[in-house]
Amino acid sequence: MVKIEADHLNVFYGGLQALRDVTIRIQERHITALIGPSGCGKSTFLRCLNRMNDTIPGVRIEGRVLLDGEDIYAPQTDVVDLRRRVGLVFQRPNPFPQSIYDNVAFGPRVLGLAQGRALDGVVERSLRGAALWDEVKEDLRRPALDLSAGQQQRLCIARVLAVEPEVILMDEPCSALDPLATLRIEDLMRELRGTYTIVIVTHNMQQAARVSDYTGFFWLGELVEYDETARVFTRPAQRLTEDYVTGRFG
C-alpha cells in the first residue's frame, strides 16, 4: 500500500533548485531511508512531506505530494492536522524545558485530544511506545532535560506518538547519539514499523542498510535510485548509487 506519493516534485529556494522532478511512492507501514551527500535534497524532500518547508521564506514548490491520495498542498489542507498525522523527529533531541510528563502531554493538550486520566493513559502509552516507560515511570515530574541524549530523543519520539500520527519523519535522528543509544533508536524504529510509516534521512549508510525496507538515493536534488534496501546495498542499478554506497564519493 502506498502511503505517500510525490509526483514530479520540484522545490526552489529563491533561484536555487533544491529538488528536481522527484517522483516516489512510499510504502505504508514500512521504513524508507533517504540517503545522499550533504545538500542532495533529502532533508528538503523530507520536510515537504509535512509542509515544514512552508516556514522558509522564498520557497516555491511545484508538483504534488499525496498522503493517502489527497494532495497535501491543496488549499483546503489543514496544516496543523497534517503535522499531527505526519510527525517529525529532529536531528538534535529538543525536549521542552518541562517535565517528562508535560513534554509528552503537550500535543494532546494543545489539540484537545485528552485530559485527566485519559491523558495519563496517552502519556504512558506513548512512553511505552517509545521504549522509555520503564526508565522514567518512577518519576514523570523529572525535568526532561535531566535525561540522557538517547533518552531525550526517545522522549521526542514519544511526543510525536502522543498525537497518534500515521507517518513519522526522522531527520538524522541518531547523529547526536552514541552508538548504543543509536542502536536503541534503531530497535525502536523496527518496533514502530508495522504501526507507522517511517521515513528517515540518514548520513549513516549502515544505519539505512540495517533498519530500512526501502532506500532512496538523492544526488544534486534528484532521486537517482529507489528500491528495496537489500538490492540498493548489494546490486544497485545505477553507477552513481554504487559509488556512493561503496564510499567512493560523498
Query: Which residues contact another protein (rule: CB under 8 A)?
Result: 205-206, 209, 233-236, 241-243, 245-250
Kindly tell me which of 196 and 226 has the beta carbon lying closer to another protein. Answer: 226
Rounded to a whole number of angstroms, the minimum distance from the CB of residue 239 to another protein is 9
Rounded to a whole number of angstroms, the minimum distance from the CB of residue 250 to another protein is 8
Rounded to a whole number of angstroms, the minimum distance from the CB of residue 36 to another protein is 14
**CA dist 53 → 7, 49, 50, 79 (Å):** 17, 9, 8, 12
**CA dist 178 → 84, 182, 183 (Å):** 29, 6, 9
Kindly tell me which of 167 and 205 has the beta carbon lying closer to another protein. Answer: 205
Kindly tell me which of 98 and 175 has the beta carbon lying closer to another protein. Answer: 175
Whole-number Å distance between alpha carbons of 227 and 229 = 6
Kindly tell me which of 35 and 147 has the beta carbon lying closer to another protein. Answer: 35
Closest by CA position to 90, among listed 163, 169, 37, 19: 169
Backbone φ and ψ of 161, nearest 5°:
-65, -30
Rounded to a whole number of angstroms, the minimum distance from the CB of residue 140 to another protein is 40
